[in-house]
Amino acid sequence: MILRRLPRFRAPDPAFLNWVIVVLSVLACALLSLARLPGTQLADVGVNWLMIWVVSWSVRRSLLQGAIAGLILGLLQDALTASQPSHVVSLVIVGLVTALLQKQRYIQEDFISVALIVFAMAVLTETVFALQLTFMVQDSDLATVAAATGDFSLGDSLLDAESGAQTDPGWVQQAGYTPVEIWSRHQRVALSSAIVSSLWAPLIAYPLNLWWEWLDRSQELPR
């Protein structure tokens, strides 16, 4: 009788559990972006964890879903670093391009294909970032550039990451941060980001892909 009165255990709703995993994985990528763990840097350039998450998500989603993921994570990355130059533009493009490639069946969902697409998207991300920096320098908004580029990529020398002190705009000019210098640094930064991000991409993409595959199969089962 006592056993009959005990409430039966109900498994959590898969849709709710999926959102929990999505949120936790995004938070994990955000925290990893702030950390400098051994092996996650190459030539002082760190892994672009949030970009990896956008690729992992978009490879199984529509164009709209990929763009929305890029928008949300771009805003999150702007909040963690700086809003100018914005990461929203690059991550939205990454979400759209990845979803488009998946729609056209140019890529598979295995971790090797994801690593390759992460390599390409890292180059694309840094290129968009460099374009924004170029426009900002050409507009002579050097104070904004100095404050904004305390990121792990092109602007790692313009802002004291520990103190947050803004660099003198005149120093930025003396340091050679002209459009020519930006694109010269872009070659090293883009290649380093692409290599290190693609190497670490399976750490995020593989477990998420396994989870979403299981979720798809469970939804197809008759109830």
For the ranges 37-51, 89-103, 130-144, 183-197, the lowest mean pLDDT is seen at 130-144
| Averaged pLDDT for residues 193-214 | 92
Could you tell me which of 83, 29, 60, 68 has the C-alpha nearest to residue 197?
A: 29
Position 83 pLDDT exceeds 80: no
pLDDT at 166: 35
pLDDT at 176: 47
pLDDT at 30: 94
Residue 1, domain member (yes or no): no
Query: Comparing 158 with 78, which gets the higher pLDDT?
Result: 78
| Averaged pLDDT for residues 9-36 | 86
pLDDT at 127: 93
pLDDT tens for 125-140 read: 999 988 888 877 765 4
Full residue range of the structural domain in which residue 203 is found = 15-33+44-215
Residue type, 165: A
pLDDT tens for 34-75 read: 888 888 888 888 999 999 999 999 988 899 999 999 999 999
3-class secondary structure per residue, the chain: CHHHHCCCCCCCCHHHHHHHHHHHHHHHHHHHHHCCCCCCEECCEECCHHHHHHHHHHCCCCHHHHHHHHHHHHHHHHHHCCCCCCCHHHHHHHHHHHHHHHHCCCCCCCHHHHHHHHHHHHHHHHHHHHHHHHHHHHCCCHHHHHHHCCCCCCCCCCECCCCCCECCHHHHHHCCCCHHHHHHHHHHHHHHHHHHHHHHHHHHHHHHHHHHHHHHHHHHCCC
Task: State pTM to two decimals.
Answer: 0.78
Residue 3, domain member (yes or no): no
Q: Is the peptide bond before 222 cis (omega within 30 degrees of 0)?
A: no
pLDDT at 104: 66
Domains in the chain, number: 1
Residue 109, domain member (yes or no): yes
Cα(151)–Cα(83) distance, rounded to whole angstroms? 10
Residue with tokens 């928008």: 71
- How large a percentage of the chain has pLDDT more than 70? 70
